Chains A and B, each alone.
Chain A
Amino acid sequence: MRQQLSLVTVIAEAVLEHRLVSEVRSAGATGWTITTARGEGSRGVRASEWEGGNIRLETLCSPAVADLLFAALEAHYFPHYAVVAFEQQVSVLRGEKYGA
Chain B
Amino acid sequence: MQALDLAVANLTSPPVLAFVVGVLAAAIRADIRLPDAVYQGISLYLLLGIGIKGGVGLREAELTAIVPAVGATLLLGVSVPLVAVGLLRVLTPLGPIDRAAVAAHYGSTSLVTFTAGLVFLEASGLPVEGFAATLLAVLEVPGIVVALLLARRYLSDTDGWGHALREVVTGRSIVLLVAGLLIGAGTGAAGYAAVEPFFGGIFVGVLTLFLLEMGVVAGRRLPDVVRVGPGLVAFAIGMPILAASAGVVLGLAVGLSVGGAAILGVLAGSASYIAAPAAVRLALPEANPGIYLGASLGVTFPFNLAVGIPLYTWIAQTLG
Q: Interface of A with B (CB < 8 Å)?
A: 13, 15-16, 18-19, 36, 45-52, 76, 79-81
Contact = CB atoms under 8 A, between A and B. Distances in A.
Contact of B39 (A45, A46, A50, A79): A50
A13 B281 CA distance: 10
Given A18-B163, A19-B160, A47 B278 contact: yes
Contacts of A79: 157, 285
Given A19-B163, A52-B36, A80 B285 contact: yes
5 contacts: A36-B36, A46-B289, A48-B281, A79-B285, A80-B285
Given A47-B293, A76-B159, A81 B285 contact: yes
A50 B293 CA distance: 12
A79 to B, nearest CB: 8
Interface residues of B, number: 23
Contacts of B166: 18
Contacts of B290: 45
B169 interface: no
Nearest to B282: A15
Contacts of A76: 157, 159-160
A85 B3 CA distance: 56
A47 B160 contact: no
Nearest to B162: A19
Interface string B272-284: 0010011011100
A80 B286 contact: yes
Contacts of B10: none
B115 interface: no
Nearest to B286: A80
A35 B309 CA distance: 40
Interface string B42-57: 0100000000000000
B217 interface: yes
